[in-house]
Structure 1
Amino acid sequence: MTSTMDPMLPRGDWLRLHTLVNLRWISICGQLSAVAVCDRVLNIHLPLGACYLTVILLLGANIIFAMGNPGNRRLTETEALLTLLFDMSQLSMLIFLTGGLSNPFVLLILAPVVIAASALSLYTTIALSLAAAVWVTVVTVWHLPMVLADGTPLQSPDLFRFGFWLSMVTGIAFTSIYAHRVSAEARRMSEALLATQMALAREQKLTDLGGVVAAAAHELGTPLATIKLVSTELMEELRGTPDLHDDAGLIRDQAERCRDILRAMGQSGKDDSHMRQAPLETLLRDAAEPHLSRGRQVHFRVAPASDGAGPMPSVLRRPEILHGLRNLVQNAVDFSRAEVWVDATWTEGEIRIRISDDGAGFPPQILNRIGEPFVRTRRPAERPGYDGMGLGLFIAKTLLERSGARLRFGNAVAAPPGRRRPARTPRGTGAVVDVTWRRELVESEPGPLRQNSPLLP
């Protein structure tokens, strides 16, 4: 499956101007309150004129932003970078005026970095992180000290200031990396889940469409047969009139064509009331059918796991099961050399499907990550020209687990030279995927099927 969404595209257009304007109003209120409390309550002498001028600068900029642009406007990457850089510089200037690292609010310099790491590209995050480190260093070396009520300057010991500076720089680096990785992972998962929902919706639509066509073919069978019968009789009666005889033959041929078209279209869905369930082998062949003519031998083996397992179960033809198994078969066919095996067994309590191939298998270093979005599970050399996004197995795993399945990914073990492979080991030498359900989750209820509802009253 391919997608038009690239998880590595710049994310500047994710930030709305309205969001940053609201955050600035909160910042302005906080800064004015902090300066007022220091002056009126704590009796700490500050350069009030310069402090209020710095806050008014931010206030004026926010008013210009709010009034000069629509609130729903989304910022470009460059605009977001410059906006956050301006906010960081304004806050750093206020920190410079109020004691440098002795001011506990110096931690707020991290805020623009966290915003960039969460919503912008890696390069913008690095740029803001470097700017934050530079500003922290500047206010550490140069700043105006806060003066207490008795005239004593409030200064921290040099060792404490160095430790605080080191912790701030380390915190900037760690926070930016951590927030960027977490937000990138969340975006990738969101995009992958969206692709999964689209795949399931498409499968459901195809299944529903097939059901309608199958029901239409069933309901139209009788009138089409009647048309064919009557037209055949007319042909017999009109043998002496060539023109009318040919017209009757045309009617018969077109009726047969309608029947063939409906039958062919019905093969894509098969979800009328009589086909909502199917034997396990039929379900497997339907899931693998689009990949049976792609130049690989696909072998099916369906057998009970033991003598007491009973007859072949009839399972529900749910779209998520069909699409999930189809993706697993597609992955095996894509990366096999010549053969793919689809084995199904069942016991009294479980149904197990194993899909294996004779390819090179999954790379050992990513076995524990198989099923995550945008992880390419095979080596590019195994399939030249393949440019997938690594969503196939994620979609299959998500859909099958939604149906209650347990999945296990691994590689087959080749038999040692001169020795036979143990009977219980997977076939082939490539990748192996085991899918297991509890029977009550996917097995259809026994009993007669209800009649189809007629298309027309």
Structure 2
Amino acid sequence: MKAPTFGEISQDNRGEWVRLRTLTYVRAVALVGQVGAFLLAVVVFDLRFDLGLVALVIGAAAVSILLALFLFPPTKRLSDVEASLTFLFDIAQLGCLLYLTGGITNPFALLIMAPVAISAMALQPRSTMMLALVAIGLITLVSVAYQPLRFMDGTILVVPPILSFGFWAAIVIGVVFQAFYAHRVAAESDSMADALLAAQMALSREQKLTDLGGVVAATAHELGTPLATIKLVSSELADELSDRPDLLDDVRLLASEVDRCRDILRAMGRSGKDDTHMHRAPLEAVLQEAADPHRNRGKQVHFLLTPEGGAPDSQPLILRRPEIIHGLRNLIQNAVDFAQSQVWVDARWTPQALTLRIIDDGAGFPPQVLSSIGEPFLGRRRDPARSKRRPGYDGMGLGTFIAKTLLERTGARLDFMNCDGLVKTLPHAPDLRGALVEIRWPLSAIAADMSQGLDPNPSIGV
């Protein structure tokens, strides 16, 4: 397995997930259960075994547990190979116990599934497959060759062959099912955790950019006074050095550079205030800010703003939150990437709700992944023809997942679909088959101020 680079998010990086001390405690509990079951069978049910060999097998497990406790530090974590060998030892030890205590007729034979299930959640698939094959091989072996259970009077516990076969089949099916089920659940959980981390990192980056604007504004404000002092002193020096042309040129150069610094800081302060103090903005301004990085990539991005349901003609004044801008930017980027030449950002609002539709004139979402769009690491199930439509792209669905997660945090609901005649108001609407992302907010969740949340002078551009 290729090791991920620093900062890379990968759900396949499962190295050293298992802590030795935790696994040792679990194995100790299992050992106590083995001893208890053995004593119960001998004392209560009057069964007889080869006591020496059974004690030897249980003792081997006890020794391995003690070695793990005393030879390794509590923080020791097992690699994939080390954990696989530990599980392999446990399967072999349980297989030996089953051979000595009735084989497949021993009701505790089903415990051979436990190491395989744990492996499926914590180790690589190839390690789990190897352990599953070993477990199936051992359970098959002890189903045909074992020391039968005997009572005190020498009577042998006989189980009908059909039940023995049923026990074997149930355990084999259980091993396979448990391994597959545990692996799928763990993989989905890992993917979601990685994707949520990516969403958190994206939001943090957007927030840092916003905070940086505040730092710039504060810096520009604080440097204004020293520069004004330098300007004043340089002016006085220019007056006093009027008879020294060689020095007067240097002083004038100093004054001109001070003016240049003042202009730069003024621009920086204006930019910083725009980023930090404009916490609300007209809807179109937010949409244009989100789309701005992708408007000069050879595709036309159109903005349509339409009131509905008796709403005022003036566009809503909405919250300018990093989650909204970053989420919309990701969705617009996807539309631009897959569009042939046109992308539409269609905004409609009523007195109660705001609806955005991001539409492109591309080929649309692949039908086989349409129901899974918005899930992380969708790249494994992507359309095989996607690389032809978007050369060099090897996405994993994280961008869409991040956008969906961030926008849902603001109260939005997202639907992903293809146009297929659903759009009636755009140019060439009947022929559009591209992707359509619909985002809906309650206006109370996104409006900056419901009492004065409408811009009286909207600037609507197409």
TM-score by length of 1: 0.88
Match of 2:139 in 1: 136
Q: 1:254 Cα deviation (Å)?
A: 3.7
Match of 2:11 in 1: 7
Cα deviation digits, residues 19-62 of structure 1 (max 9, x gap): 22112211211111111111112211122111111100111122
Match of 1:423 in 2: 425
**2:184 matches 1:177:** no
Contact 2:116 2:131 in 1 (8 A): yes
Q: 1:337 Cα deviation (Å)?
A: 2.3
Match of 1:452 in 2: none
* Local SS of the residue matching 1:272: helix
Alpha-carbon distance between aligned partners in 1 of 2:327 and 2:151, rounded to the nearest angstrom = 69
Match of 2:259 in 1: 255
Match of 1:270 in 2: 274
Contact 1:227 1:255 in 2 (8 A): no
1:191 aligns with one of 191, 194, 206: 194
Contact 2:338 2:362 in 1 (8 A): yes
Contact 1:125 1:176 in 2 (8 A): yes
* Local SS of the residue matching 1:315: strand
Q: 1:223 Cα deviation (Å)?
A: 4.8
Alpha-carbon distance between aligned partners in 1 of 2:390 and 2:440, rounded to the nearest angstrom = 28
* Local SS of the residue matching 2:16: helix
Task: Give the alignment's Cα RMSD to 1 decimal.
Answer: 2.9
Q: Which amino acid is the alignment partner of residue 80 of structure 2?
A: E
* Local SS of the residue matching 2:37: helix
1:432 aligns with one of 433, 436, 445: 436
Alignment of 1:107-146 (within 5 A): 107-146=110-149
Q: Which amino acid is the alignment partner of residue 432 of structure 1?
A: L
The percent identity for this pair of structures is 44
Q: 1:389 Cα deviation (Å)?
A: 2.7
Contact 1:207 1:269 in 2 (8 A): no
Distance 1:34 1:289, change over 3 A: same
Contact 1:292 1:298 in 2 (8 A): yes
Match of 2:459 in 1: none
Q: Which amino acid is the alignment partner of residue 189 of structure 1?
A: M
Match of 1:288 in 2: 291
* Local SS of the residue matching 2:173: helix
Alpha-carbon distance between aligned partners in 2 of 1:104 and 1:167, rounded to the nearest angstrom = 12
Q: Which amino acid is the alignment partner of residue 424 of structure 2?
A: P
| Residues 291-300 or 303-312, more deviating | 303-312
Q: 1:216 Cα deviation (Å)?
A: 4.8
Q: 1:161 Cα deviation (Å)?
A: 0.4
Contact 1:215 1:272 in 2 (8 A): no
* Local SS of the residue matching 1:270: helix
Match of 1:455 in 2: none
Match of 1:454 in 2: none
Q: 1:18 Cα deviation (Å)?
A: 1.3
Distance 1:166 1:401, change over 3 A: same
Contact 1:310 1:348 in 2 (8 A): no
Alpha-carbon distance between aligned partners in 2 of 1:161 and 1:223, rounded to the nearest angstrom = 92
Distance 1:57 1:299, change over 3 A: same
Q: 1:146 Cα deviation (Å)?
A: 1.1
TM-score by length of 2: 0.87
Equivalences, count: 440
Q: 1:308 Cα deviation (Å)?
A: 3.5
Match of 2:312 in 1: 309
Unaligned runs of 5+ in 2: 454-462
Alpha-carbon distance between aligned partners in 2 of 1:75 and 1:262, rounded to the nearest angstrom = 58
Contact 1:117 1:180 in 2 (8 A): yes
Q: 1:360 Cα deviation (Å)?
A: 1.8
* Local SS of the residue matching 1:362: coil
* Local SS of the residue matching 2:416: strand
**2:96 matches 1:89:** no
* Local SS of the residue matching 1:59: helix
Alpha-carbon distance between aligned partners in 1 of 2:288 and 2:223, rounded to the nearest angstrom = 26
Contact 1:356 1:426 in 2 (8 A): no
1:360 aligns with one of 358, 363, 367: 363
Alpha-carbon distance between aligned partners in 1 of 2:98 and 2:288, rounded to the nearest angstrom = 70
Q: 1:132 Cα deviation (Å)?
A: 0.7
Q: Which amino acid is the alignment partner of residue 46 of structure 2?
A: N
* Local SS of the residue matching 2:437: strand
Alignment of 1:23-102 (within 5 A): 23-102=26-105
Alpha-carbon distance between aligned partners in 1 of 2:321 and 2:142, rounded to the nearest angstrom = 63
